[in-house]
Amino acid sequence: MEITRFAPSPTGHLHIGGARTALFSWLYAKSKDGKFLLRFEDTDKERSKDEYCESILNSLDWLGIDIDSEPVYQSQNIERHTKLAYELLEKGFAYSCDCSEERLAEIRTEQQKNKQKPKYDGKHRNDNLEHKQGNVIRFKMPDSGYTSFDDEVLGEIKVNNIELDDFIILRGDGNPTYNFSAAVDDMDMGITTVVRGDDHLTNTLKQINVFNALGYKIPRFAHLPMVLSESGKRLSKRDGALDLFEYKNMGYLEPTIINYLVKLGWSYSDQEIFSKNELIKFFSLDSVNSSPSKYSEELLNWYNNYYIKDMKINDLVTLIRNDYNISYNLDTNNKTSEIFNLMREGVKTLIELIDISEFFYIVPDYKEINRSIIEDSKNILENFNANLGSFSFESHETLEADVKNYIKDNDLKFPQIGKPLRIILSGRENAPSISELIYLLGKKETSKRIASFL
Q: Which spans of this chain sit near ligand GLU (rule: CB under 6 A)? A: 7-9, 41, 182, 196, 200
C-beta closer to ligand GLU: residue 22 or 407: 22
Q: How far is the CB of 41 from ligand GLU (least distance, A)?
A: 4
Among 206, 202, 198, which residue's Cα sits nearest to residue 223?
198
Minimum distance, C-beta of residue 119 to ligand GLU, in the bound complex (Å): 22
Q: How far is the CB of 419 from ligand GLU (least distance, A)?
A: 57
Q: Are 43 and 173 in contact (CB under 8 A)?
A: no
Asked if residue 224 lies in contact with residue 24, where contact means CB atoms within 8 angstroms, the answer is yes
DSSP three-state, residue 176: strand
Burial class of residue 365 (count of CB atoms within 10 Å of its CB; 0-12, 13-18, 19+): exposed
Residue 296: phi and psi, rounded to 5, are -140, 115
What's the closest the beta carbon of residue 18 comes to ligand GLU, in angstroms? 7
Compare residues 171 and 444 and give the one whose CB is closer to ligand GLU. Answer: 171
DSSP structural state of residue 289: -
| CA 5 to centroid of chain Cα atoms | 17
By beta-carbon distance, which residue lies closest to ligand GLU?
Answer: 196
Nearer to ligand GLU, 81 or 131 (CB): 81
Q: What is the largest CA-CA distance in the chain?
A: 106
Cite the beta strand spans of 112-241 per DSSP E: 136-139, 146-151, 155-160, 168-170, 193-197, 220-224, 227-228
Cα distances from 321 to residues 127, 144, 152, 336, in angstroms, run 70, 64, 44, 11
Cα 33–Cα 254–Cα 40 angle in degrees, nearest 5: 60
Q: Which is nearer to ligand GLU, 190 or 346 (CB)?
A: 190
Nearer to ligand GLU, 181 or 357 (CB): 181
- Closer of 35 and 196 to ligand GLU (Cβ): 196
When the beta carbons of 41 and 352 are compared against ligand GLU, the nearer one is: 41
Phi-psi region of 128 (alpha: psi -120 to 50; beta: other; left: phi over 0): left
Q: How far apart are the first and last CA of the chain?
A: 74
Contact assessment for residue 191 and residue 5, using Cβ atoms and an 8 Å cutoff: yes
| Shortest Cβ 293–ligand GLU spacing (Å) | 18
Residue 65 or residue 182: which is nearer to ligand GLU going by CB? 182
If the CB atoms of residues 10 and 427 are measured against ligand GLU, the closer one turns out to be 10
DSSP state letter for 118 = P
Nearer to ligand GLU, 41 or 402 (CB): 41
DSSP character string of 294-327: E--HHHHHHHHHHHHHHS-HHHHHHHHHHHS--S
Nearest to 185 by CA among 89, 29, 78: 78
Least distance in angstroms from the C-beta of 12 to ligand GLU: 9
What are the φ/ψ torsions at residue 223 (nearest 5 degrees)?
Answer: -100, 120
Residue 8 CB, nearest approach to ligand GLU (Å): 5
Q: How far is the CB of 232 from ligand GLU (least distance, A)?
A: 22
Q: Which of 93, 100, 92, 94 is nearest to 135 (CA)?
A: 100
User: Which H/E stretch holds residue 244?
Assistant: helix 244-250
In the bound complex, what is the minimum distance in angstroms from residue 209's beta carbon to ligand GLU?
15
Least distance (Å) between residue 23 CB and ligand GLU? 14
Nearer of residues 195 and 423 to ligand GLU, judged by Cβ: 195
State the minimum distance, in angstroms, from the CB of residue 7 to ligand GLU: 4
